[in-house]
């Protein structure tokens, strides 16, 4: 390893990282600890000049990095993993503060990053070969150039590294834009990366709402890898059209979970609840609609209510299972969903129609018993700890109901009759389907949505190709 450029890395000072150097800015902004409302550290607001400089540096680095053999790039990623893991405790603490996650979940996310490194270290992207009597065709996969990564606030570490690792493994250079709500872990991860990679290979720019459009418009960026809301995804696709950038869009979902009549009710109830309320419901693939067979509907709902009442909501170090919502905007959105649900007179099986206001953006987990199909709570992604349940009796009908959404990110089926569960699972219109588990994304499986939940996919084996151009060669 080259002599340390970041030996003195400080976890309470934050810079944009451009061309291998820390770059401060004239204008600063501040994150907020959502558990307390406390103002966090100053972070620079990136400018058009910062973006232009980062693109020049990334293009310069790309000319060399694209020819570094994949085995060498893997070695660099393994070294980077070691350096990152040496700082995993500091990352956990930053994540707790910027995002509000309870300690055990922040620690889980910070540590799970290792799985993304390990999975990608095993991958290759070999030339593919086809031949017939007339010709031999080979297809190889070459990097795209400079990738712009635009990230959300709900899993700041995994979603930053989940783009950085495959982009770099395939020989691209990358500029990462964290969410303005959670810039801290990303800026530090990228600062650490300077120890391992040449200037310009991995850069980060944080900022305000103006920054994302600067990346999507820039002609020097070849691809945008975006994770965030459907509404922003549509704007990004439109903004990338004039320069015909490649785009991968990982967007929102409204996942259905179908429960067969033969499940073990006591065992399944807590799993259904956690599928909906993990990370306080702020998960793209959280369970957002639960369809329970009518034979066990009342019993299952009773068990789910009983388990939900045991869930502790609180701050990062209180031993709570659920933390606050991450930001005031999201808190207001979810409160609005509660108001609509109350105003329409739907039944609260557990949870209060009136969100108790206080310090921190806390909302108690809430289950809505059998609202109508056209209700907002069925039709929209709340992205908070509120979930509807409905009964079903006919298999064809419930499959239709599950698929009657503009989104198609994840889905679950629960049942002892595995053949039946799999038969249903195969008919669900979603990118990731789980049988007898709630949604648990893993780096080993390609991840991407159908319909308005996205375009393309990342991770798994297939995900590497999202960062490449295919080049075919025919030999006659």
Chain residues that interact with ligand NAD, rule: CB under 6 A: 150-154, 177, 179-180, 209, 212-213, 216, 227-229, 232, 235-236, 250-253, 284, 381, 383, 409, 449, 454
Does 250 participate in catalysis according to the annotation? yes
Task: Give the nearer residue to ligand NAD in terms of CB position, either 68 or 239.
Answer: 239
Tell me the closest approach of the beta carbon of residue 260 to ligand NAD, in angstroms: 27
Minimum CB distance to ligand NAD smaller for 279 or for 308: 279
Q: Cβ 283 to ligand NAD, closest distance in Å? A: 7
Q: Which is nearer to ligand NAD, 381 or 429 (CB)?
A: 381
Q: Which is nearer to ligand NAD, 202 or 301 (CB)?
A: 202
Between residues 58 and 221, which has the closer beta carbon with respect to ligand NAD?
Answer: 221
Q: Which residue lies nearer to ligand NAD by CB, 263 or 466? A: 466
Query: Which 3-state string (H, E, C) describes the chain?
Result: CCCCCCCCCCCCCCCEEECCEEECCCCEEEEECCCCCCEEEEEECCCHHHHHHHHHHHHHHHHHHCCCCHHHHHHHHHHHHHHHHHCHHHHHHHHHHHHCCCHHHHHHHHHHHHHHHHHHHCCCCCCEEEECCCCEEEEEEEECCEEEEECCCCCHHHHHHHHHHHHHHCCCEEEEECCCCCCHHHHHHHHHHCCCCCCCCEEECCCCCCHHHHHHHCCCCCEEEEECCHHHHHHHHHHHHHHCCEEEEECCCCEEEEECCCCCHHHHHHHHHHHHHHHHHCCCCCEEEEEEECCCHHHHHHHHHHHHHCCCECCCCCCCCECCCCCHHHHHHHHHHHHHHHHCCCEEEECCCCCCCCCCCCCCCEEEECCCCCCHHHHCCCCCCEEEEEEECCHHHHHHHHHCCCEECEEEEECCCHHHHHHHHCCCCCCEEEECCCCCCCCCCCECCEECCEECCECCCHHHHHHEEEEEEEEC
> Smallest distance from the beta carbon of 447 to ligand NAD, in angstroms?
6
CB contact at 8 A, 19 and 200: yes
* CA-based nearest residue to 410, from 437, 378, 439, 443: 439
Per the residue annotation, which of 250, 271, 381, 439 is the catalytic one? 250
Euclidean distance between CA atoms 111 and 129, whole angstroms: 38
Contact 222, 142 (CB under 8 A): no
Residue whose CB is less far from ligand NAD, 192 or 409: 409
Of 415 and 448, CB closest to ligand NAD: 448
Q: Which residue is nearest to ligand NAD (CB)?
A: 212
Q: Whole-angstrom distance between the N-terminal and C-terminal Cα of the chain? A: 46
Q: How far is the CB of 4 from ligand NAD (least distance, A)?
A: 30
Question: Which active-site residues does the annotation give?
Answer: 250
């Amino acid at each position: 390893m080259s002599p340390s450029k970041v030996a003195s890395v400080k976890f309470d000072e934050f810079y944009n990282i451009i061309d291998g150097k820390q770059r401060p800015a004239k204008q600063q902004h501040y994150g907020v600890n959502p558990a307390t409302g406390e103002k966090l550290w100053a972070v620079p607001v990136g400018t058009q000049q910062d973006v232009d400089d980062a693109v020049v540096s990334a293009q310069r680095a790309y000319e060399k990095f694209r020819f570094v053999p994949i085995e060498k790039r893997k070695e660099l990623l393994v070294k980077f993993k070691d350096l990152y893991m040496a700082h995993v405790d500091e990352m956990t603490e930053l994540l707790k503060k910027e995002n509000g996650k309870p300690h055990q979940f922040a620690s889980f996310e910070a540590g799970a990053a290792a799985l993304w490194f390990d999975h990608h270290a095993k991958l290759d992207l070999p030339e593919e070969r086809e031949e017939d009597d007339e010709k031999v065709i080979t297809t190889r996969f070459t990097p795209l150039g400079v990738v712009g990564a635009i990230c959300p606030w709900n899993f700041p570490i995994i979603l930053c590294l989940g783009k950085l690792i495959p982009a770099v493994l395939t020989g691209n250079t990358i500029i990462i834009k964290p969410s303005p709500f959670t810039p801290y872990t990303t800026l530090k991860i990228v600062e650490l990366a300077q120890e391992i990679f040449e200037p310009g290979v991995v850069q980060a720019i944080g900022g305000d709402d103006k920054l994302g459009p600067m990346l999507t418009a820039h002609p020097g960026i070849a691809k945008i890898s975006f994770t965030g809301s459907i509404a922003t995804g549509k704007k990004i696709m439109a903004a990338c059209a004039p320069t015909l950038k490649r785009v991968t869009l990982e967007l929102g979902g409204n996942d259905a979970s179908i429960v067969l009549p033969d499940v073990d009710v006591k065992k399944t109830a807590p799993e259904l609840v956690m599928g909906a309320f993990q990370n306080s419901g702020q998960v793209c693939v959280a369970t957002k609609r639960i369809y329970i067979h009518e034979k066990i509907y009342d019993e299952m709902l009773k068990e789910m209510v009983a388990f939900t009442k045991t869930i502790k909501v609180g701050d990062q170090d209180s031993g709570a299972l659920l933390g606050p919502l991450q930001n005031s905007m999201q808190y207001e959105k979810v409160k609005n969903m509660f108001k609509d649900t109350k105003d329409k007179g739907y039944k609260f099986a557990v949870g209060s129609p009136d969100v108790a206001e206080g310090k921190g953006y806390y909302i108690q987990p809430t289950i809505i018993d059998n609202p109508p199909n056209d209700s907002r709570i069925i039709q929209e992604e709340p992205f908070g700890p509120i979930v509807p349940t409905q009964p079903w009796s006919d298999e064809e009908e419930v499959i239709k109901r599950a698929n009657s959404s503009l989104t198609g990110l994840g889905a679950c089926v629960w049942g002892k009759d595995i053949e039946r569960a799999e038969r249903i699972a195969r008919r669900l219109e979603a990118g990731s389907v789980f049988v007898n588990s709630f949604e648990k994304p893993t780096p080993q499986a390609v991840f991407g949505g159908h319909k308005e939940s996205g375009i393309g996919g990342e991770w798994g084996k297939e995900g590497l190709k999202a960062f490449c151009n295919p080049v075919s060669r025919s030999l006659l």
